[in-house]
């Protein structure tokens, strides 16, 4: 079942590698079924070059495996929790991509210094608080999802489809697994540019709010002018 979704999610996992976002097996992508009840996700620790669509694992929104003989990614509970809380998302990625992880480790949000950022993220990419010892010991992966959701209490996850988990690395999401991968690629590029901008100048001038608005809306707003229809 879900053969099309499995193929899409398989492709999304391979695309993370092609875009240079993954070292060894440090990355995974998932997708949500159209009825929003099942999640297709990468199995844990399987090398990308032997990964096939039929290796993907299907879980329900409580995190129970309902199809597949392999164990799901250890980050599965985080993915499932995000699908439960973020309406309208259909795909998620988690990577340790180099520059985004630098910001996650420095626990600094990625400011929108330029229009590349504004084309994809409508404001700074936020950082979560660290988990408490209790949260780690009780249900580490699920609570990782909870601190992300907590961080977005007053933020819109649709227009800001990425987060940095403090001391860990980025998660991105989107309408589909492919869209989440696109946001992971954009996040890494934006992080690298922000890194260099901050090296060149300790207090870079913030992007004018009306330029942020213009760029985000011209790509994503109701009157988007970008791409073909």
Q: How is residue 127 annotated by DSSP? A: B
Select 26 or 48, whichever has its Cβ closest to a second copy. Answer: 26
The count of chain residues that interact with a second copy, using the rule CB under 8 A, is 62
Task: Provide, rounded to whole angstroms, the least separation between the CB of residue 135 and a second copy.
Answer: 9
Residue among 8, 119, 179, 216 flagged as catalytic: 119
- Of 86, 216, 220, 84, nearest to 157 (Cα)? 86
In the set 14, 17, 51, 102, which binds a second copy (CB under 8 A)? 102
In the set 7, 107, 175, 220, which binds a second copy (CB under 8 A)? 107
**What is the x/- site pattern for a second copy, positions 16-55, by CB under 8 A?**
-------xx-x----------------xxxx---------
Beta strands across the sheet bearing 91-95: 65-67, 57-60, 38-41, 27-32, 91-95, 169-174, 162-165
Task: Provide, rounded to whole angstroms, the least separation between the CB of residue 36 and a second copy.
Answer: 27
Say if CB 19 and CB 187 are below 8 A apart: no
Count of all residues that appear for the chain in the document = 229
65: Cα within 13 Å, side-chain hemisphere: 15
Would residue 119 show up in a list of annotated catalytic residues for this protein? yes
The window from 3-11, 78-86, 152-160, 203-211 that contacts a second copy (CB under 8 A) reads 203-211
The window from 28-36, 85-93, 146-154, 166-174 that contacts a second copy (CB under 8 A) reads 166-174
**Tokens in use for 44?**
């844990």
Residue 191: count of CB within 10 angstroms of its CB: 24
**Tokens in use for 23?**
């070292």
* Bridge partner residues of 174 (DSSP): 91
Show contacts with a second copy in window 75-94 (CB under 8 A): none
Task: Provide, rounded to whole angstroms, the least separation between the CB of residue 197 and a second copy.
Answer: 4
Task: Determine which helix (DSSP H) or strand (DSSP E) holds 25, and give its type and residue range.
Answer: none
* Residue 175 found at the interface with a second copy (CB under 8 A): no
Query: Which residue shows structure tokens 């299907």?
Result: 58
The contacts of residue 117 (CB under 8 Å, 6+ apart) are: 110, 111, 190, 193, 194, 207
Task: Provide, rounded to whole angstroms, the least separation between the CB of residue 53 and a second copy.
Answer: 17
**Which spans of this chain sit near a second copy (rule: CB under 8 A)?**
23-24, 26, 43-46, 70-71, 74, 96, 98-99, 101-108, 113-116, 119, 130-131, 133, 136-137, 140, 167-169, 182, 185-186, 189, 192-201, 204-205, 207-208, 210-211, 214, 218, 225-229
Catalytic residues: 119, 226
């Amino acid at each position: 079942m879900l053969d099309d979704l499995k193929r899409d999610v398989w492709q999304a996992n391979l695309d993370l590698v092609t875009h240079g976002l993954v070292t060894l097996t440090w990355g995974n992508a998932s997708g949500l079924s159209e009825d929003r009840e099942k999640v297709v996700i990468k199995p844990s620790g399987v090398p990308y070059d032997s990964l096939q669509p039929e290796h993907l694992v299907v879980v329900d929104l409580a995190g129970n495996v309902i199809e597949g003989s392999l164990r799901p990614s250890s980050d599965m509970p985080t993915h499932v929790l995000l699908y439960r809380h973020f309406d309208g998302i259909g795909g998620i990625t988690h990577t340790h991509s180099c520059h985004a992880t630098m910001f996650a480790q420095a626990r600094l949000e990625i400011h929108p210094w330029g229009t590349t950022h504004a084309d994809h993220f409508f404001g700074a990419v936020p950082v979560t608080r660290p988990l408490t010892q209790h949260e780690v010991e009780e249900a580490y992966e699920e609570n990782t999802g909870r601190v992300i959701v907590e961080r977005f209490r007053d933020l819109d996850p649709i227009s800001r489809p990425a987060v940095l988990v403090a001391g860990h690395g980025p998660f991105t999401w989107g309408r589909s697994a492919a869209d989440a991968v696109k946001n992971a690629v954009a996040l890494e590029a934006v992080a690298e540019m922000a890194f260099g901008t901050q090296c060149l100048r300790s207090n870079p001038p913030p992007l004018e709010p009306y330029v942020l608005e213009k760029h985000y809306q011209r790509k994503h707003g109701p009157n988007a002018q970008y791409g073909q229809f």
